[in-house]
Amino acid sequence: MKRSSLYQMAVLTAATALFTITALCAQATSTGAQQFDPLAFPGNVVDDVVVPVPSEVFSVLDKLGEPNWRQELRKLDLPKTADRTKLALMFGMVVAEGFVAVQAEDKEEVKDIGREVIDLATALGLVKSVRPHAQAILDAADKEDWKSIRKEFDLTQKTVRDSMEQMKDVDLSQCVSMGGWLRGTASVTSVVTKNFSADRAELLNQPMLVEHFISTINKMGSSMKEHVVVSDITKGLATILSRMEGAVDGFSKDSVRDIGKTCDSLLNGIKAAK
């Protein structure tokens, strides 16, 4: 028994020493700019992923040209449903549409989206926490205060996700993020396809986010994972990931178009009545 403990201690000490030496070596190679080796990382990894809001990408597209954002707006034609999975996906989608409307500086569209946010929050039973943000969006739209509207859309999405997580609905909260990412990415592909350049297309290099969504779905409960829309999203994300991983020398116009088509098809599935 004692010998076994001593052996375990020796192994642990050797492993710790090896780990420390590896970490020190990683630091020692740094001359000038520091080098970092994730495989020799002597610490903990924070698993949480903060998904960028669409306006993070849109702001770069604005710097690279002047996209016609009004052309990118899509009519909100959402079915009435009690399916919470679809409602959560639609919520993310609508908030992302809000970011497109802000980019287009379309006051009336922002207001329509603000009202849609209230309807969806009501259907999800979260209207109490969402209403102040939705009202702030409507008020800021009257003043054409685009900065505040952008902030409120971000806050709205965070509030809904936090409320879902407090109610132990982590899977639903992830659906909000996925719906938003799909709508945002569809807009980016549409803008890039209309005015293709390598710099614009590079904005689609987001494999870590796609892997995160795939892994999130894999961890979901079976009823959620087997939901027809979620199951389609899993397949669609795999297609998108293969396009991103295949773009070693940059994205071609065709690969951008393919990613866009996949996103559009998944969004249509979310919006479908059944």
Partner 1 sequence: MYLSTRSILQSAALVAAAFITLSAALSHATVDDAHGFAMEAAMPFVEQGFIVREDYWNGEVKTGQKLMIKHQMFKGNEYAFWLGTANEGVTFELKVYDENKKEITIDAKSSGAFASIRVNPPKTGTYTIVFSLTSKKETGLYWALAYGYR
Binding site for partner 1 (CB under 8 A): 30, 33-38, 41-46, 48-53, 55-57, 59-60, 63-64, 147, 150-151, 154-155, 157-158, 199, 202-209
Residue 235 has which token pair?
């397949």
Min CB(252)–partner 1 separation in Å: 16
Q: How far is CA 179 from CA 92, 94, 97, 239, in A?
A: 5, 8, 10, 17
Min CB(63)–partner 1 separation in Å: 5
- Is the CB of 122 or the CB of 207 nearer to partner 1? 207
- Is the CB of 63 or the CB of 168 nearer to partner 1? 63
Min CB(87)–partner 1 separation in Å: 21
Residue 34 has which token pair?
């520091």
- Is the CB of 32 or the CB of 75 nearer to partner 1? 32
Min CB(26)–partner 1 separation in Å: 9
Min CB(159)–partner 1 separation in Å: 9
Question: What are the two backbone dihedrals, phi and then psi, of residue 29, each rounded to the nearest 5 degrees?
Answer: -70, -10
Min CB(217)–partner 1 separation in Å: 18
- Is the CB of 60 or the CB of 225 nearer to partner 1? 60
- Is the CB of 149 or the CB of 266 nearer to partner 1? 149
Min CB(51)–partner 1 separation in Å: 8
- Is the CB of 1 or the CB of 43 nearer to partner 1? 43
Q: Are 110 and 133 spatial neighbours (Cβ–Cβ below 8 Å)?
A: no
Q: Are 149 and 102 spatial neighbours (Cβ–Cβ below 8 Å)?
A: yes
Name the residue among 53, 161, 142 with its Cα closest to residue 103: 53
Task: Tell me the C-alpha distance between 194 and 64, whole Å.
Answer: 13
- Is the CB of 58 or the CB of 86 nearer to partner 1? 58
Burial (0-12, 13-18, 19+ Cβ within 10 Å), 115: middle
Q: Which residues pair with 137 in a beta bridge?
A: none
- Distance in angstroms between the alpha carbons of the first and the last residue of the chain: 63
Burial (0-12, 13-18, 19+ Cβ within 10 Å), 187: buried
| Residue 146 DSSP one-character state | H
Task: Tell me the C-alpha distance between 107 and 231, whole Å.
Answer: 36
Min CB(273)–partner 1 separation in Å: 32
Distance of CA 153 to the CA centre of its chain: 14
- Is the CB of 60 or the CB of 81 nearer to partner 1? 60
Q: Which residues pair with 33 in a beta bridge?
A: 31
